Amino acid sequence: MSIMIEKPELKINDQELRAALKTFIEGKNLNKILLLPPDMTRLHSYAGRITAILYELLHDHCDIDIMPALGTHDPMSEEECKEFFGPHVPYNTIIPHRWKTDITKIGTIPAAYVNDISEGLLDEPIDIEINKILLDPAYDLILSIGQVIPHEVVGMANYSKNIFVGCGGQTAINKSHFLGAVYGLEKLMGKDHSPVRKIFDYAEEHFIQDMPLQYILTVTTVDQEDVHLEGLYIGRDRHLFEKAIVLSQHRNFNLLDQSPQKVVVYLDEREFKSTWLGNKAIYRTRMAIKDAGDLIILAPGVRKFGEDLEIDQLLRKYGYVGRDKILQLYYENEDLQANPSAAAHLIHGSSDSRFNITYAVRHLSRKEIESAGYIYADLDDMLQRYNPKSLKQGTNILPDGEEIYFISNPAVGLWASRDRIIED
């Protein structure tokens, strides 16, 4: 059984959402269920609300475990869980995904296939590992919940990415991120059949077909702080994901007639606490910014570079110095070779000297920011000039005549000028 509701430019209300979820689980003999929502970094995905409704509908007659698909992110705190899932989802139902230890290998993508779909950029096998809890036969149903939206590694986020990265292990995370970075962000963002997506499709088809897995996919838009659920897709078939992609491309892809000279991006401190996450401000806007232009990132919550201590140290050591330099460093240094996702992130977070990147921060020093390859600015100074509360989404003319393009949250879309779009 599959369910699809689309209300583009409108909103699927709570009653419609609840009815769809209730219809989907009706008649299923469920004793134990595993929910795989995202974490706070997907605050506007509607997945928190969906998880809360599912818990409300099911907790009286089956056991429920919830494992946020963290990937490499920090585990969610009790405070974050309450904000994301609401007050009625008990914190003791939350299981942290430990991407380095709690994993099991389920298969290997052959080197020949990797070489073929990567156009020769990567010629080695890729082991697929997932959290061992997903293989527990006690679960009658596993529900992967998440948002379909343009993504810098896979092209369009979610579907099987939630399993193989969100609940995955080091090897697949590292190599998929590295492959996407080497292939080129601008060639894959906002598209379906990227090399990385083909890796996940292969793993879905060959390694987890017997898993009692279903997907709940969303497409959302944000108006100020109001999140609109415009698409809901429930089922296992890939065509549901493809339908969600079409809607997301229509609603989350912001195509600009002209490239802005200056883009200002605000990072909600509830979501963005590292440049690892905050650099969405860079790669979600890089196809929009004018050559020699400026990107100013207002980052009140950013206090570190990597979510993981080892990755944080690598990012500080090498800095965001551009694709070509990072690839050179990668092949020359064993510590980067041991952590390809760090190398990939360093590529993602660079402008390749095409535009200037200023990080306006409160918790990192000038030395830390400049050593990483960015321009430093004091957050309070920048907030006086670029106050997010007084700026509208899109083009703004300041009192002194300066024109900026403002983005209130880079996680909710992709921005590009028409002349930078790379066609298939």
Residue-by-residue pLDDT tens, the chain, 424 positions: 899 999 999 999 999 999 999 999 998 999 999 999 999 888 889 999 999 999 999 999 999 999 999 998 889 999 999 999 999 999 999 999 999 999 999 999 999 999 999 999 889 999 999 999 999 999 999 999 999 999 989 999 999 999 999 999 999 999 999 999 989 888 999 999 999 999 999 999 999 999 999 999 999 998 877 899 999 999 999 999 999 999 999 999 999 999 999 999 999 999 999 999 999 999 999 999 999 999 999 999 999 999 889 999 999 999 999 999 999 999 999 999 999 999 999 999 999 999 999 999 999 999 999 999 999 999 999 999 999 999 999 999 999 999 999 999 998 899 999 877 755 5
Q: What is the CATH number for 59?
A: 3.40.50.11440
126-131 and 213-223 as β-strands: parallel, antiparallel, unpaired?
A: unpaired
Domain limits at 162? 3-253
Tell me the pTM: 0.90
Both 325 and 301 in one domain: the answer is: yes
222 and 120 assigned to the same domain = yes
Which residue, of 198, 230, 253, is where some domain finishes?
253
Q: Are residues 170 and 270 in the same domain?
A: no
Instruction: Indicate the residue among 211, 229, 253 that finishes a domain.
Output: 253
- Structural tokens at position 83: 């904000």
| Dihedral, 405, 408, 411, 417 alpha carbons, nearest 10 | -10
Residues 363 and 379 in one domain: yes
CATH of the domain at 292: 3.90.226.30
Both 336 and 405 in one domain: the answer is yes
Task: Encode burial over 258-284: b for 16+ CB neighbours within 10 A, e otherwise.
Answer: ebbbbbbbbbbeebbbbbbbbbbbbbb
Grouping H, G, I as helix, E, B as strand and the rest as coil, residue 189 is: coil
Residues 135 and 173 in one domain: yes
- Which pLDDT value is given to residue 229? 97
Is residue 226 located within the same domain as residue 304? no
240 and 295: one domain? no
Question: 297: part of which helix (H) or strand (E)?
Answer: strand 294-299
8 Å CB contact between 268 and 236: no
Instruction: Based on the fold, state whether residues 225 and 76 are members of the same structural domain.
Output: yes
Residue 325 has φ and ψ, to the nearest 5°, of -65, -40
Q: Is 236 exposed, middle or buried (0-12, 13-18, 19+ CB in 10 A)?
A: middle
Q: Mark which of 188, 218, 253 sits at the end of a domain.
A: 253
The one-character DSSP state at 354 is: S
Distance, CA of 220 to CA of 251 (rounded, Å): 8
Verify that 182 and 244 share a domain, yes or no. Answer: yes
Cβ-contact 224, 44 below 8 angstroms: no
- Asked if 211 and 79 sit in the same domain, the reply is yes
CA distance 377 to 381: 8
Same domain, 92 and 186: yes
Number of domains in the chain: 2
